[in-house]
Amino acid sequence: MSKIMAVMNRELRAYFYSPVGYIVIAVFLVLGGIFFGLMDFDANRPAEMRNVMFWLAGVLVFLIPVITMRLVSEEMSRGTIESLMTAPVTDAQVILGKFFSAVAFFLILLAPTLSYAVVLAVFAEPDWGPIAAGYLGLVLIGVLFLSIGLLASCCTRSQIVSAFVPFVFLGIMTFLCRFLTFHLDGLPRDLLRYVGFLTRYENFGKGVVSLNDVVFFLSLTVLALFLSVKILESRKWRGIRG
């Protein structure tokens, strides 16, 4: 456990060694603020954060790959993977440490958005149930995105590839799936509704927290983490030029 903490600690600091961490935070807050201002902070509408959360999820599709791209790829391209993997840590400890650091960074990213809720509370009587549910959904979808980004980062030493691939994948799973549900019917539509990330996430935005959706996000997250550990293990068999 303390080894996971050690890895997590180092990784979390690493976000702030380079400007990337600050840029991600800035972009997220600016976009979030814009959406909030445009859509939710409107005296003529009921006080809720449904729209802003919808758009924030969209922002995560391209921001999260930027958060996760360096996690393992950078170790491979710089050769530090060699000292990391020859230290007495297990592959699972490395993956979990890195994953938790990304989650912590993500929570730091989200924290300031609580101020939107505070603003709502000052000027109106928001309905807290849906807001809390929305946050839960946002955290769950974000954590899933992070685990998918981490998985991609384990597959390549190129940070560009490990940002681009999950970006495309998440874009398909989130927006394309949702788009297609409007144009299909029957079984394909039900299937896409079932696997589409956004469809699931929207339930939270409506204030509906179903165990089904929670389990969906969490189990996919665990699956991505499991695959990450397996890929890290298998890389040793192929050998990495350090």
Ligand X SMILES: Nc1ncnc2c1ncn2[C@@H]1O[C@H](COP(=O)(O)OP(=O)(O)O)[C@@H](O)[C@H]1O
Interface residue list for another protein (CB under 8 A): 2-3, 5-7, 9-10, 13-14, 17-18, 78-90, 236-237, 239, 242
> For the chain, how far is it from start to end, CA to CA, in angstroms?
28
The site partner of 223 among ligand X, another protein, none (C-beta below 5 to 8 Å per kind) is: none
Distance of alpha carbon 202 from alpha carbon 181, whole angstroms: 14
Structure tokens belonging to residue 41: 């902070």
d(CA 126, CA 103) in angstroms, rounded, equals 28
Residue 237 contact among another protein, ligand X, none, beta carbon within 5 to 8 Å by kind? another protein
Distance of CA 69 to the CA centre of its chain: 12
Minimum separation from the CB atom of position 225 to another protein (A): 19
How many whole angstroms separate alpha carbon 79 and alpha carbon 99? 20
Question: In Å, how far are 11, 60, 178, 187, 195 from 192, measured between CA atoms?
Answer: 35, 20, 7, 9, 5
Considering the complex, state which of residue 82 and residue 190 has its C-beta at the smaller distance from ligand X: 82
- Residue 87 Cβ vs another protein, minimum distance, rounded to whole Å: 5
Q: Which is nearer to ligand X, 112 or 242 (CB)?
A: 242
Nearer to ligand X, 200 or 235 (CB): 235
Q: Tokens standing for 228?
A: 């990450």
- The Cα-based distances of 10 to 6, 146, 235, 240 in angstroms read 6, 17, 23, 23
Letters for 223-242 (x = contact with ligand X by CB under 6 A, - = none) are ----------------x-x-
Q: Residues touching ligand X: how many (CB under 6 A)?
A: 2
Q: Which of 75, 72, 148 is nearest to 106 (CA)?
A: 148
CB of 27 to another protein, least distance (A): 21
**Rounded CA gap, 134 and 50, in Å?**
7
Query: Would you state the torsion angle of the CA atoms of residues 216, 220, 223, 227, taken in this order, to the nearest 10 degrees?
Result: 170
Whichever of 183 and 241 has its CB closer to ligand X, that residue is 241
Minimum CB distance to ligand X, residue 79 (Å): 12
Q: Which residue is nearest to ligand X (CB)?
A: 239
Q: In angstroms, what is the minimal distance from the CB of 5 to another protein?
A: 8
Q: Does 183 bind ligand X (CB under 6 A)?
A: no
Binding site for ligand X (CB under 6 A): 239, 241
